Amino acid sequence: MVLIVSSQLAAQEHLIVNVYNRATTSLNGQWNYIVDPYENGFYNYRLEAFEDQENPGNGAFFLNAKPKSKSDLIEYDFDISDSIQVPSDWNTQKENLYYYEGTVWYKKSFDYKKSENQHRVFVYFEAVNYEADVYFNGKKLGKHIGGFTPFNFEVTNLLKDKDNFIVVKVDNKRKKEGVPTLNTDWWNYGGITRDVKLVEVSNNFIENYTIQLNPENKNQIKGYVKLNGTEIAKKEIQIDIPELKLSKTIISNAEGVAVFEMNSKKIQYWDTKNPHLYQVNIKSVNDKITDQIGFRTIKTKGKEILLNDESIFLRGISIHEESPITGGRGSTIEDAQQLLNWAKELGCNYVRLAHYPHNEHMLRLADKMGILVWEENPVYWTISWENEATYNNAENQLSEVINRDKNRASVIIWSMANETPTSEPRLIFLKKLAAHTRELDPTRLISAALEQSDYNGDPTIRTINDEFANVVDVLSFNQYVGWYDGLPEKCGQISWKILQNKPVLISEFGAGAKIGFHGDKLTRWSEEFQEDVYIQTLKMLEGIEQLQGFSPWILVDFRSPRRMLPKIQDGYNRKGLISEDGKKKKAFYVLKNFYDTKSASN
Ligand code: GCB
């Protein structure tokens, strides 16, 4: 146990978990910004980074410099530059930044009074897309790569009562070696896209913990707690679950870590019909924190997925993180609530959060609403499989989301990748990622959205011919018979020969339709065409013996620079069951009927 814990902790040093239940001060709101396509505020005219120089001079934007005399030459000024809302993307806020990909500098000034008992302060970013260089009162705090996961830096010793300034260089340039890479079918929204907050904690505080049901013993809750500080050895930590009348006191080791087990025969298991969350209180000498945690097991047995040892069919839908309220990148609790309400209305008990980690509200709401979740790493299409830095980046992003969400009962599947072309280097990459994930979290299932292919050269028989299928716990694949692959009636000609004895999820199927555009079922882009694809596909999929659920593509139309057909797409992927302005297409009701019938018999 201690070994597992130390590798889990090494994976994400010092990310503070559960910021939603801590004392925080929001830094959301208007920030000044400077668009800097040449990275003029980062490099001097010899293209040397200012931050590497002893005397960076007045050109370095992170200094937030001001003229000291009327003769001083400073060619920028945050305070008289335009401002922009945080959290949000810049593309949908500023018309001239709609297609912009590059560097934008953000600056926020604020005063701060530490509260009496709090002695340490961290600045916590829920997500910045894609690279963030963070500076506080002119000092570099660090850099973070990856657009969808949280990170934090301590600012205790830099913080002043008055006139603090935080500067973030945000760069969303796509890169071949990035994760994701150059090519995606979604909008590359740039900016500080999720909340920013100051987290206030005591000197020796509860940094991290896992509190979960033991998959091998459903009468046992187990986990660890880790303290952060200079006096963290041999400290008492108390864990209470009042509703179960459970209480345990443990003592931390030299690293500030303590493991525990607690037994109860009265645990009410979290499930989709009764998503019971227990209040869990953790107390150390100087700190206390609360969480709301559900206890359940998730396993596979042959072709079945078992939630609390009972077979479950996953009635799902795929979702992108776009705001159904304002358009652009979504991040608020209202965005999350609307998306999950629609999923519920559709009859779902499961969502696939594509193609990257979504904001924490989604998982916390899914926990409350009893919706199972597939979370996904943005390893999408043609990643640089042989590049070590690319692998490390992918592993780091996955570690960060696992660390953030490891106490959420709703999360049942970690997805390694989406539609990645088979090759030896890709297999090595994905196997390593899967092994790492199992080490970090042995309690959840591993999958990836794979691709299907013809069986023995026969285009009417489909199979999964991918060695990574042997690694996953749940065999998932995307398929578009009826849309990219023939017309809807082709579904009737296809049979499936899936050789792996594993549960099968169809991670995607779908068709595009423009809301309000009607025609017969052979008219491309009509609601009737999309409806027919759904009708035919649902029939076809019944022929897969191991089928345990699906997450059709997709809940809502979403922006994509690959989708430019005028008057139909206009920059949107139209495979949504709901338009971007919230109107339901005919296919929505086909799937809803299917799910309603399924749930009556499941
Ligand atoms: C896929 C991708 C998804 C695309 C979708 C489409 O297979 O996984 O990201 O948006 O197809 O619409 O083509």
pLDDT value at residue 600: 78
Tens of pLDDT along 490-543? 999 999 999 999 999 999 999 999 999 999 999 999 999 999 999 999 999 999
- CA–CA dist 240, 213 (Å, integer): 15
- CA–CA dist 16, 226 (Å, integer): 10
* Burial class of residue 457, CB neighbours in 10 A (0-12, 13-18, 19+): exposed
State CA 491 to chain mean position distance.
33
A 10 A CB-CB count for 265 gives 7
Domains, the chain: 22-201 (2.60.120.260), 203-286 (2.60.40.10), 300-601 (3.20.20.80)
pLDDT value at residue 14: 84
Nearest to 368 by CA among 406, 409, 338, 319: 409
User: Ligand 1 pocket, 508 CB below 6 A?
Assistant: yes
C-alpha distances (whole Å) from 525 to each of 44, 374, 529, 546, 585 are 51, 29, 7, 32, 11
User: Ligand 1 pocket, 575 CB below 6 A?
Assistant: yes
pLDDT value at residue 8: 52
Q: Which residues of the chain have pLDDT under 50?
A: 11-12
Quote the ligand 1 centre to 185 CA distance (angstroms).
Answer: 6
* Burial class of residue 54, CB neighbours in 10 A (0-12, 13-18, 19+): exposed
Whether the Cβ atoms of residue 93 and residue 35 lie closer than 8 Å to each other:
no
- In ligand 1, the atom with minimum distance to the C-alpha of 478 is 7
- CA–CA dist 127, 99 (Å, integer): 20
Quote the ligand 1 centre to 385 CA distance (angstroms).
Answer: 20
Quote the ligand 1 centre to 96 CA distance (angstroms).
Answer: 28
- In ligand 1, the atom with minimum distance to the C-alpha of 418 is 8
Token code pair at residue 46? 């010899």
Ligand 1, from 181, 184, 185: best to mutate by most atoms within 8 Å of Cβ? Answer: 185
User: Ligand 1 pocket, 553 CB below 6 A?
Assistant: yes
* Burial class of residue 274, CB neighbours in 10 A (0-12, 13-18, 19+): exposed
Q: Judging by DSSP bridges, how do beta strands 217-228 and 257-263 pair with one another?
A: antiparallel
For the whole model, what pTM was predicted?
0.97
pLDDT value at residue 1: 53
| Four-point Cα dihedral 542, 546, 548, 551, nearest 10 | -70
Nearest protein CA to atom 9 of ligand 1, as residue: 185
Q: How far apart are the first and last CA of the chain?
A: 37
Classify the complex by whether its ipTM is higher than 0.90, answering yes or no.
yes
